[in-house]
Chain A
Amino acid sequence: MNRRILIDPITRLEGHGKIDIRLDDAGNVASVFFQVPDFKGFEKFCQGRAAEEMPTLTQKICGVCPTAHHIAGVKALDDLFGVTPPKAAQTIRELMHTAFIFEDHLLHFFYLGGPDILVNGAAQDKPCNVFAAVEEVGKAMGDRIIRIRKKVRALNALISGSALYPVCGLPGGVSKPVAQTSRERIVKTTAEALEVAIQVLNFFHEKVEHRQPFKQQHNDPNFSLQTYYMGLVDQKGHVTFYDGKLRVISPAGETFALFPAQAYLQHLKERTAAGTYMKPLYLKKIGWKGYTEGPDSGLYRVGPLARLNVAKGMSTPLAQLEYERLFNAVGEKPAHNTQLYHWARLIEVLYAAERMVALSHCDDLYDSRVRRLPTHSPSEGIGVCEAPRGTLIHHYQTDERAIVQRLNLLVATQNNAGAICLSVEKAARSLIRNGIVTDHLLHQVEMAYRAYDPCLACATH
């Protein structure tokens, strides 16, 4: 080994990471190490805390996806106390969660990983970031995306206290009803969100789908991984963010498992390794076979592309058309190319917008009965939701006073952690040859993880 390339820090993602690439004497890649130098220890320091504080405490794992932690946490509290929230509370929670996924996916498309496919096609030397993305999409479109994120985040602040950190979740419901007087504003905002979502998809089809680098990469086997996939599906097998069963499919698309989150310990296992604070998850029944792909490897993936892969379709009409368009274009299901996460994410933006519109017209949303008090003595609760980056599970065990004794947090990016390491290694091995290393090539290596929209703060909670 005679040469080392360190990408430090990796950028345009949430959290800390570095990539260490070692070359052999011929200048080809000998090894790649994806390291996450970050650790918080929530699973320890949340022990001894009051259970009702968990949705607001555990969400501090991630300020980018706090709403997902808040929702998984409050659903775990419902389970812990054996209490079913009134319809209004379920509707409020689903709206805030769906609105959050809408704006968070746009955050990725515009500020984080999206600029990789929005900007980099024309000029290799151009900076690749939100400012360049605005130039690329045009000021009018850029302003629209920025403003709709702001409006949708304001909507969530109205419902939940703050878009930055919601506080409304309580066992058995939420702390505050949505006022009838807010109805007009909510309906208007969700309608506008749908308009923007349609525009963004159109823009993607016209300007991104058939252009470099997206076109080349989403057909490149070096950006593809044959893995299992996992995601929540509703009773009809459609994509759902808020509640459902977890479906796992094999790389060939067959159902491998279908289970409620309460059974997660039978299906999922974590692995630790020296050299990084990230703990990859893998399928327990297959086992850990290293950073390898295929049906014999326990690696699986979650997040937008995985959700589309495991589902039979989308429950809203426009998103369903886009879902069909993606799989027709790709010609395979499950779709395995990692760069297709970008496309799948935008289809979910559209689904989220359609769902927000439906929820905003739902009378339950404005009902004042938003909380039931628990009557059961607490002992154990498990909550699940789909975070923007994939499946999120919170598991709390308490004493009879509802003081947390033990907790387990399976966070979205942990599910993808093994695949992310493998994707980066595969990209590096294919791109760096004969000692030729340029900033442009390293940028492409980084595109291999950015498509996942990883949250490394979550992965090392």
Chain B
Amino acid sequence: MHTLADKPKLAFYWCAGCGGCEESIIDLAERLLSLHEKADIVFWPVALDARHRDVEALKDGEIDAVFINGAIRLDAHAKRVKLLRRKARLVLAHGTCAHMGGVIGLANLHSTRQMLECAYRQVPTLSDPNSPLPGDADKMPPEAPLLPDLLPAVLPLEKIIRVDAVIPGCPPPPETMDGVIEDIVHGHLPEKGTVFAHRKALCHECPLRSSKPEKIEITHFKRLFEIHWDPEVCFLSQGLICLGPVTRGGCKARCLQANMPCRGCFGPTEKVDDFGAGAMALIASMMAGKDESELLETVESIPDPAGLFYRYALAASFLGKGVLS
């Protein structure tokens, strides 16, 4: 553990994010006002009027801690986070996208060309194969600034720079953010490699925990629109896919509290390297068909395994580094 100067300098930055992680800071509410008294927030575009040149003007290592959310989608993101790494003593991956790529990592199922063609030429409100694409060099207006390019694949933050600690969650609970920021402001810096969540799986804090049977056997997985399920019984035991057993706890089971299953935004527990592989192993272990044809039916009852098991973690997977289709 090391300590900070008297009034620490903090920064919050976003790459390919959604603003939800920003809300996890704004949700500190009145405690955000006291943070302003205890720390200098030198860069936080959603709330403060600083420019990139202000960050460039800082000395290397001058920022005590930077919280970076969002995935790395554009070449400009890689450039910005490298700069922030140089300027900051501590880098925290803030939220699921910085941690594992998040839902936008599902883009890695396609080529960047396919992604752009769909959004800028094929959607029903365009339906024009000749529409300009954002990066078309020959159609670029002379007054436009350089447009950042898409990287070939979405990447988690740690694939670009060294990350000192991770705050999982889409987005992380504000209470977790409060705790992490409080500690840093008071000079208690996290050990390298800290993950601000539970070591154990979500099941340990699930309100339905007591109803989870020792052994679960499923012959047909059900879809959420197909049945009325029992809100007091474990989803898996009712044939509905829930990824709680392979997901880190620490969210207070917020989706379960709303009578919905876990989709894994906190990422894998310490025992699992590849979230989707772990999730598939879990689900496969519950399949109860007698023979190959029954098992095949069971497998086919899962709609969209890629999107379900790798919903948040494809970009962090060994499967998700490039183009699959």
Binding site for B on A (CB under 8 A): 6-9, 11-16, 18, 20, 22, 30-33, 35, 37-41, 43-53, 56-57, 60-64, 66, 77, 81, 107, 111-112, 127-131, 134, 142-143, 146-147, 149-150, 153, 157, 160-168, 170-172, 175-176, 265, 268-277, 279, 281, 371, 373-374, 395, 401-403, 406, 408, 410, 443, 455, 457
Query: Told that A39-B116, A168-B258, A274-B141 touch, could you supply 15 new A-B pairs with CB distance under 8 A?
Result: A30-B143, A38-B74, A39-B134, A40-B104, A52-B223, A129-B47, A131-B33, A146-B30, A147-B30, A160-B258, A164-B171, A272-B132, A274-B135, A275-B141, A279-B119
Q: 3 closest Cβ contacts across the A-B interface? A: A63-B20, A161-B258, A275-B144
Q: What's the Cα separation between A165 and B170 when bound, in Å?
A: 8
Neighbour of A60 across the interface among B18, B123, B144, CB < 8 A? B18
B123-A408 in contact (CB<8A): yes
The answer to whether B110 touches A45 (Cβ under 8 A) is yes
* Complex Cα gap A9–B109 (Å): 30
Contact A457 B49 (CB under 8 A): no
Q: Is the CB of A164 within 8 A of B131?
A: no
Question: Which residue, of B47, B125, B143, B170, has the highest number of chain A Cβ atoms within 10 A?
Answer: B125
User: Known contacts being A33-B143, A49-B307, A62-B19, is A275 close to B226, with CB within 8 Å?
Assistant: no
The number of chain B residues with a CB under 8 A from chain A is 86
Residue on A nearest B115 in the bound complex, by CB: A41
Would A164 and B23 count as touching, CB distance under 8 A?
yes
* CB-based contact A41/B47 at 8 Å: no
CB under 8 Å from chain A, chain B span 249-301: 254-255, 257-260, 263
- A270–B126 touching, CB < 8 Å: yes
- B323 beta carbon closer than 8 Å to chain A: no
Among A12, A40, A53, contact of B107 (Cβ-Cβ < 8 Å)? A40
A162 to B32, CA, bound (A): 20
C-alpha spacing A15/B145, complex, angstroms? 17
Smallest CB separation, B45 vs chain A (Å): 5
Task: Specify which chain B residues have a CB less than 8 angstroms from the CB of A127 in the assembled complex.
Answer: 48-49
B140 within 8 A of A: yes
Contacts A18-B145, A157-B254, A165-B170 known; A11 to B123 CB distance under 8 Å?
A: no
Residues on A with C-beta less than 8 A from B4 are none
In whole Å, how far is A269's beta carbon from the nearest beta carbon of chain B? Answer: 6
Using known A-B contacts A37-B76, A150-B29, determine if residue A273 contacts B16 with beta carbons closer than 8 Å. Answer: no
The answer to whether A129 touches B144, judged by C-beta atoms less than 8 angstroms apart, is no
A153 smallest CB distance to B (angstroms): 7
**Across the interface, do B307 and A35 meet the contact criterion of CB distance under 8 Å?**
no
- Min distance, Cβ B25 to any Cβ of chain A, angstroms: 10
- Per a CB cutoff under 8 Å, which of A45, A281, A374 touches B225? A374
CA distance A279 to B136 in the complex (A): 15
A63 near B308 with CB under 8 A, answer no
In the complex the two chains form, is A44's CB within 8 Å of B119's CB?
yes
Cβ distance A231 to chain B, nearest Cβ, rounded Å: 19
In the complex, per-residue mask of B203-234: 1 if CB is within 8 Å of any chain A CB, else 0: 00000000000000000000111111001000
A15 to B17, CA, bound (A): 8
Chain A nearest CB, measured from B306 CB (Å): 7
State whether B139 touches A11 (Cβ < 8 A): no
Min C-beta distance of A152 to chain B, whole Å: 11
Could you tell me if A62 and B18 are in contact, using CB atoms closer than 8 angstroms? yes
Report the Cα distance A447→B131, complex, angstroms. 31
Task: Please tell me if the beta carbons of A402 and B225 are within 8 angstroms of each other in the complex.
Answer: yes
**A40: nearest residue on chain B (CB-CB)?**
B104
CB <8 Å contact, B52 and A43: no
Give CA–CA (A222, B259) in the complex, Å.
51
A411 to B184 Cα, complex, angstroms: 38
| A–B Cβ pairs within 8 angstroms, 11 of them | A12-B48, A15-B19, A20-B144, A39-B74, A44-B110, A56-B263, A62-B20, A131-B36, A165-B171, A273-B141, A443-B49
Contact of A6 among B24, B36, B145 (CB under 8 A): B145
Interface assignment of B148: CB less than 8 Å from any CB of chain A: yes
| CB atoms of B304 and A41 under 8 A apart | no
Q: Which of A14, A134, A149 has the most CB of B within 10 A?
A: A14
A111 and B26 contacting across the interface, CB-CB below 8 Å:
yes
Q: Are B303 and A14 in contact (CB under 8 A)?
A: no
The smallest beta-carbon distance between B145 and chain A, in angstroms, is 4
Query: What is the bound-complex CA distance between A273 and B263, given in angstroms?
Result: 36
Q: Does B118 contact A (CB under 8 A)?
A: yes
Contact assessment for B225 and A167 in the assembled complex, using a CB-CB cutoff below 8 Å: no
* Most-contacted residue by chain A among B14, B135, B263 (CB, 10 A): B14
When distances are taken between beta carbons in the complex, the residues of chain A under 8 Å from B303 are: 50, 401-403
Contacts A11-B46, A146-B33 given; does A176 touch B225 at CB 8 Å: no
Q: A373 and B225: CB pair below 8 A? A: yes
**Contact assessment for A272 and B120 in the assembled complex, using a CB-CB cutoff below 8 Å:** yes
Asked if residues A44 and B134 are in contact (CB atoms below 8 Å), the reply is: no
Residue interface bits B7-50, CB-to-A below 8 A is 1, else 0: 00000001011111111101101101100100000000111111
The reply to whether the CB of B106 lies closer than 8 angstroms to some CB of chain A is yes
Find out whether the CB atom of B225 lies under 8 angstroms from the CB atom of A408. Answer: no
Q: Which residues of A contact B319 (CB under 8 A)?
A: none
Do A402 and B223 contact each other (CB < 8 Å), given the known contacts A127-B49, A274-B144, A408-B123? yes
- Closest residue of chain A to B143 (Cβ to Cβ) is A31
In Å, the complex CA distance between A265 and B145 comes to 32
Q: How far is the CA of A457 from the CA of B294 in the complex (A)?
A: 45
B21 — which chain A residues lie within 8 A by C-beta? 63
Task: Check A277 against B134 for contact (C-beta < 8 Å).
Answer: yes
